Structure 1
Amino acid sequence: MSSSLKAIALVAMGMVAVPAMATDLVFASWGGSYQDAQDTTAVRPFSAKSGDQIKIDTYNGGIAQIRSQVETHNVTWDVVDMQLADATRACDEGLLEPINAASLPASSKGAAAKSDFLPGGLSDCMVGNVSWSTMITYNKSAFKGKEPTKIGDFFDLKKFPGKRGLRKSPEGALEWALLADGVPAGDVYKVLSTPAGVDRAFKKLDTIKSSIVWWEAGAQPPQLLADGEVTMTSAYPNRIYTAVMQDKKPFGFLWDGEVKNIEGYAIVKGTKNLKAAQDFVNFATSTDALAKLSSATALGPMRQSSIPEVDPKVGPYLPTAPQNQKDAVDVNVAFWADHSDDLNQKFAVWLGQK
């Protein structure tokens, strides 16, 4: 028998190990420096370890793209970085694979994943990676000697003059309006669930409406501040952290009333690479991987065990740092799932009114 025929025969009898075929995964995320950090801390290390190749795509939020892939049986994404609210909606529609928390890696000290993840970090179809927030930032040069310290200062145009930047969305704006009007952080959604509470929030926004510069992309707030178009603006703190640390901008952080959210990894229903996708999610949400991601992005890790491993220089700027979330508002996913359509409509009408 020839050597080649002998090899075929041995393989057929299971006497020779055959290398596993590498898998091509597609990972969709938000682009920019955030996805670059994911590439460095998770994508490339996982590929080197597993041999699987990961292709990158850009996701724009919502669930329309995922729904289209699942309903047409043309699933081109395997893992998607999603906000908790969107992942919850997609899960309810059967568009995502269920998550088995028991299969996730234990913490670096051996604690089960279920006890290591922060509240909200594990849901039916998503494994949390970072906690991010929207907060208020300001140009220190505009308020020399008297910088803002509380969310009410954002609405005080006499004491802190200048234009205000706000994301063009009711989410965040309505919460801050109520906080500035004296509603405790823990009661914001209770008040906002009533018609009177909604009216109260919009009435407070009316007081600064003529001074608002609306933004839609995360890169805009630091640019608005740098150009002097606004003196204060809502922003994603990791963007401001980069502007301060890398570009040496004179921006200050106002953490009072930060609106916190959760981000995480979800697997699209019907993926042909389910095992590899699960392996990637497990790898990317380990203690070490999340600590490295937070160190690179200034976003809070969703594992308790990751927090002590974050670069100490970054720690004070994390949304989850104890001193930063003293009066934080945790986004109520159920509230926005129930009320987003109505409040978005009301917000659009309000925008059009003089």
Structure 2
Amino acid sequence: MNNAAKYVYIAFAAGFCSTSYAAESLTVTSWGGALQKHQSSAFMEPFAKASGIKVSQDEWSGELAKLRAMTESGSVVWDVIDVDPQSAEQACGQGLLEKLDYSKIVKPSSLVQGAVLECAVGVSSYATILAYNPAKLKNVPNTITDIFDTEKFPGKRTFHKSPVDTLEVALMADGVPPEKVYEVLETPEGVDRAFKKLDTIKKDIVWWEAGAQPPQLLKSGEAVIGLAWNGRVGDANKNEKAGLGIVWNGQIQGFDMWSIPKGSKNQDAAYKFIQYTLNTSNNAELSKYVDYGPTVTDALKNVSPEKLKDLPTAPENMKSFLVQNAEFWGLNGPELSARFSTWVSK
């Protein structure tokens, strides 16, 4: 081999090794804290061990501006991100996410309602539920809309400082059936109706912004009843002996969803990771660590009966429920958020 040929060979080999390394690594970005720790134990670490693909992790707080800056500059360093449904729809519409090829992941028909979006797929299900402090109430609530009943359940109530879920519960409390909620909320009259219902208890509301807050507000007695994420309440009951009650009737189901940022450098590895987490044998692993349900219907059989009763997707907890409408919030979220912020500040 002459010197010129040697240089060509070395350059080719270096390029091949670089490409191989890139294809065999990926960065998964989630919300940090306890959730990401549990996701790492359930998904990231086992996947890396089974596949030989190096998995790095990063954290974010859902800020689309950061994702936009990456994609527009061409310096995308994330390969899989955990997004909520409404953010996924907004980011997809703005061209910040890849449109998923479900033939590389899972049959959409095998997933629960609401877990399939064009640019995101649900990996776990959580719920906004009604939580309460039984030591502070004479009566036991039995539906999420009881949060509006100040006569039977007097005291402060706590809500997420967001229109998402809040407006839905307001309409259900005003007599709208769950299956009609988004149909009504799509109209100006429906939005007015939701805010009018909220006006009836506004003076009694304590707002929360972080998921760990409602259990603490209920434990301390600052609020006696409130909307909360089931995983946070379950964790407080198990680890802090909070003794809080949970009402599943009327729950609103949401999802942690995987998306691939537009311009990801390691899309093959990203698809392998997502497919792994949605394999029937693996999808319920997160439920061992936190009270989040699997999104693959058949994965429920891998959950113990003791654990199943604490999950949003357990059949006995889904007798009356609403699934967050990601398309609705993707389209109407900015406008309703602005109106909600104005209403809160008045």
Asked if Structure 1 and Structure 2 have the same fold, meaning a TM-score greater than 0.5 normalized by the shorter chain, the answer is yes
Cα pair 1:165 1:233 within 8 Å, conserved:
yes
Over residues 292-335 of structure 1, what are the superposed CA-to-partner deviations in whole Å (9 max), with x where a residue is unaligned?
11232211211011111013222112111222222212112222
- The AA in structure 1 aligned to 2:137 is F
Over residues 241-300 of structure 1, what are the superposed CA-to-partner deviations in whole Å (9 max), with x where a residue is unaligned?
111122221100112221112222111121222222221111122112211112322112
**What corresponds to 1:44 in structure 2?**
45
Cα pair 2:85 2:326 within 8 Å, conserved:
yes
1:257 to 250, 256, 259: 250
4+ aligned runs moved over 4 Å, structure 1: 19-22
Alignment of 1:50-129 (within 5 A): 50-104=51-105, 113-129=107-123
Alignment of 1:6-17 (within 5 A): none
What secondary structure is seen at the aligned counterpart in 2 of 1:288? coil
- The AA in structure 1 aligned to 2:296 is R
Alignment of 1:191-230 (within 5 A): 191-230=184-223
Alignment of 1:166-177 (within 5 A): 166-177=159-170
Cα pair 1:132 1:260 within 8 Å, conserved:
yes
Distance 1:153 1:319 in 2: 19
1:74 Cα deviation after fit = 1.0
Cα pair 2:47 2:276 within 8 Å, conserved:
yes
- The AA in structure 2 aligned to 1:101 is Y
Over residues 63-118 of structure 1, what are the superposed CA-to-partner deviations in whole Å (9 max), with x where a residue is unaligned?
2221111001111111101112222222233222232222226xxxxxxx333222
- The AA in structure 2 aligned to 1:230 is A
Question: Which moved further from structure 2: 228-237 or 271-280?
Answer: 271-280
2:283 to 290, 295, 310: 290
2:227 to 224, 234, 248: 234
2:127 pairs with 1:133: yes
What secondary structure is seen at the aligned counterpart in 1 of 2:309? helix
- The AA in structure 2 aligned to 1:102 is S
**What corresponds to 1:109 in structure 2?**
none
Give ranges in structure 1 of 5+ residues lacking alignment.
13-18, 106-112
2:330 pairs with 1:337: yes
Cα pair 1:129 1:302 within 8 Å, conserved:
yes
Distance 1:42 1:147 in 2: 38
Cα pair 2:167 2:194 within 8 Å, conserved:
yes
Percent sequence identity is 40
2:136 pairs with 1:142: yes
1:156 Cα deviation after fit = 1.5
- The 1:22/1:198 distance shift into structure 2, 3 A limit, reads closer
Distance 2:119 2:189 in 1: 35
Over residues 151-199 of structure 1, what are the superposed CA-to-partner deviations in whole Å (9 max), with x where a residue is unaligned?
3321122211111110101111111111111111111112222222222
1:62 Cα deviation after fit = 4.5
- The 1:213/1:54 distance shift into structure 2, 3 A limit, reads same
Cα pair 1:127 1:285 within 8 Å, conserved:
no
Over residues 7-44 of structure 1, what are the superposed CA-to-partner deviations in whole Å (9 max), with x where a residue is unaligned?
x99xx9xxxxxx97783421110112211111011111
- The AA in structure 2 aligned to 1:143 is L
Give ranges in structure 2 of 5+ residues lacking alignment.
1-5, 14-19
Q: TM-score, normalised by structure 2?
A: 0.89
What secondary structure is seen at the aligned counterpart in 2 of 1:249? coil
- The AA in structure 1 aligned to 2:122 is G
- The 1:60/1:103 distance shift into structure 2, 3 A limit, reads same
Cα pair 1:81 1:265 within 8 Å, conserved:
yes
Over residues 115-140 of structure 1, what are the superposed CA-to-partner deviations in whole Å (9 max), with x where a residue is unaligned?
32223323322222012221110011
1:339 Cα deviation after fit = 2.0
What secondary structure is seen at the aligned counterpart in 2 of 1:149? coil
- The AA in structure 1 aligned to 2:136 is A
Cα pair 2:113 2:323 within 8 Å, conserved:
no
- The AA in structure 2 aligned to 1:314 is K
2:148 to 155, 159, 170: 155
How many residues are paired up?
332
